[in-house]
Structure 1
Amino acid sequence: MELCSIASGSSGNCIYAGTDHCHVLVDAGISGKRIEAGLNEIGLKTAEMDGILVTHEHSDHIKSLGVLARKYGLPMYATQGTIDAIKEKSAIGKVDESLFRVIHPEEDFTIGDMRISPVPTSHDAAEPVAYMMYQGDKSMGIITDLGKYDNYIVDKLQGLDVLLLEANHDVHMLQAGTYPYQLKRRILGDRGHLSNDLSGQLLGKVLHDGFKKVILGHLSKENNYPQLAWETVRMEVTMGENPYKGSDFPMVVAKRDEVSELVRI
């Protein structure tokens, strides 16, 4: 299995995930041109994708969904709530509705040799999900846009080899920043985004001896820095009630405007 962030941040998200025989995109929130260029960097093409897994309908996750659907006929997997919300957005243009594949939270489905498990998340969208992916004894998780986590989320993230996890903002930067009060409230709320501190606390609950890699993603451009996210998450793991230190596992920060390293299991 392999995972690569083509772009990750509050201004646009697109993640590649796959196996030797199956390739998918998780979200398409940057231009189709950038997606193609990003896939080319890791030896793939958009035309080779077997589908797009959509987490939710916000524009930084679906910007080029319509373009890719029209140009390549890629099936789009999403919950019914997300599909209904996408249809109301004129920005993505006309899409062949037969390309939509309705998925249901907590009901696994397969694409090629990958089993995919949609996990419902707490975010201010219609019916958002995260995706856990499995092939044989290998597993990966992609979870961003998470206002809070609870025991259910902790349970769903157990036993993964690789996790791409949101570390959206530094709370102090956000509170002192220029965002309007209502937006600050939204981001800090239970249906907003995961702070660096909460990201580290969640990570501390799901680490295990076989963990291969942590990728921090969906960083805010205005309210975070890659180094700050990296250091805060590591510190939270080290200081948390778990047997690990933050330095025990390889951790990288997904880049906003560039392709990050291809992680292979």
Structure 2
Amino acid sequence: MRYCSLGSGSRGNATVVESGQTRLLIDCGFSLRATEQRLAQAGLSARQLSAVLVTHEHSDHVKGVEGLARRYQLPVYMTHGTLHALRDFQAPVEVVQLDQGFTIGELHVEPVAVPHDAREPCQYIFDSGQHRFGILTDTGMITPWIIERYRALDGLFLEANYDPHMLANGPYPPSLRARVSGDLGHLSNQQAAGLLAQIDRSTLRHVAIAHISEKNNRPELALDELQGALAGWSGELHLAEQNQGLPWQDITGMTQPLFAHSGSR
């Protein structure tokens, strides 16, 4: 079981999760051409994808979904609320029920309800039968339900969107600052670190920092905060970037990390 990021940030998001011959694309916030190029850089063709899963309707997550699905005849999975928000979506859709898991090929998918300013947003946990990988971005706060569901993972793709000091003193107007930092906005570095401090990490070997704001955060700030929460942890800490994404990471064994965690700040 492995995953890669085609890009993560406010200008576009897409992640591929693979187990055996099953390859799922989670969100597609890039144009069709850019998505094809980013897939090629990961050694994939869109024809090798099994399905597209959508977390919510914001453009940095759905910009290329319809075009990709129609060109390559890919099934698309999303909640009824997300489908309703997209209105005239012209591609086959399988409706996701937030209280029901489902299986695509060799992966069992668990949708998880999250607080975000979208119609019916969700994030996903993937289970190959031997390993579990979770994606958690675009979430305003950490709820008890999230802590319960994101335990006992082997890998976690985790949003650390903003640094509170940079957001407070940055270029965003007050209304946008309030949206980002609100309970239906995004996770700060400290909130992401707080989740890591609370969940069961006994099987966790891979963590990737995702959806970092280019205006309200810096990679070193996010890394520093999460490393503090992972003191004594022996896994690997990575960083998914907007332009470069994150190369394939095999969560069934140790790989070459972009940032190796040493247990100290």
Q: Aligned pairs, how many?
A: 251
In the alignment, residue 7 of structure 1 is paired with which amino acid? G
Shift of 1:34: 2.3
Q: Name the structure 2 match of 1:242.
A: none
Whether the 8 Å CA contact 1:82–1:127 is kept in 2: the answer is yes
Q: What TM-score do the two structures reach when normalised by structure 2?
A: 0.91
- SS of 2:68's equivalent in the other structure is helix
Task: Name which of 126, 135, 140 aligns with 2:128.
Answer: 135
Which segment drifts farther, 119-128 or 202-211? 202-211
Deviation per residue, 1:193-213 (Å, 9 max, x gap): 000011001011124232110
Shift of 1:73: 1.5
- SS of 2:246's equivalent in the other structure is coil
Q: 1 CA distance for matches of 2:191 and 2:235?
A: 18
Q: Name the structure 1 match of 2:76.
A: 76
Q: Name the structure 1 match of 2:263.
A: none
Whether the 8 Å CA contact 1:234–1:246 is kept in 2: the answer is no
Q: What TM-score do the two structures reach when normalised by structure 1?
A: 0.91
Matching of residue 206 in structure 1 with residue 195 in structure 2? no
Task: Name which of 165, 168, 171 aligns with 1:175.
Answer: 168
Alignment gaps of 5+ in structure 1:
89-93, 239-244
Q: 1 CA distance for matches of 2:154 and 2:53?
A: 20
Shift of 1:5: 0.7
- SS of 2:33's equivalent in the other structure is helix
Deviation per residue, 1:134-188 (Å, 9 max, x gap): 0112110001001001211001001000000000000000000111111101111
Task: Report the structure, 1 or 2, having the larger helix content.
Answer: 1
Which aligned pairs between 1:1-265 and structure 2 lie closer than 5 A? 1-87=1-87, 95-96=90-91, 99-235=92-228, 237=229, 245=231, 248-264=234-250, 265=252
Q: 2 CA distance for matches of 1:83 and 1:42?
A: 29
- SS of 1:208's equivalent in the other structure is coil
CA RMSD of superposed structures (Å) = 1.3
- SS of 1:68's equivalent in the other structure is helix
- SS of 2:247's equivalent in the other structure is coil
Query: Would you identify which runs of 4 or more consecutive aligned residues in structure 1 move more than 6 Å?
Result: none
Fraction of identical pairs, as percent: 37
Alignment gaps of 5+ in structure 2:
253-265
Deviation per residue, 1:11-41 (Å, 9 max, x gap): 1100011112101100000122222222222
Q: 2 CA distance for matches of 1:207 and 1:230?
A: 20
- SS of 1:84's equivalent in the other structure is helix
In the alignment, residue 198 of structure 2 is paired with which amino acid? K
In the alignment, residue 262 of structure 1 is paired with which amino acid? W
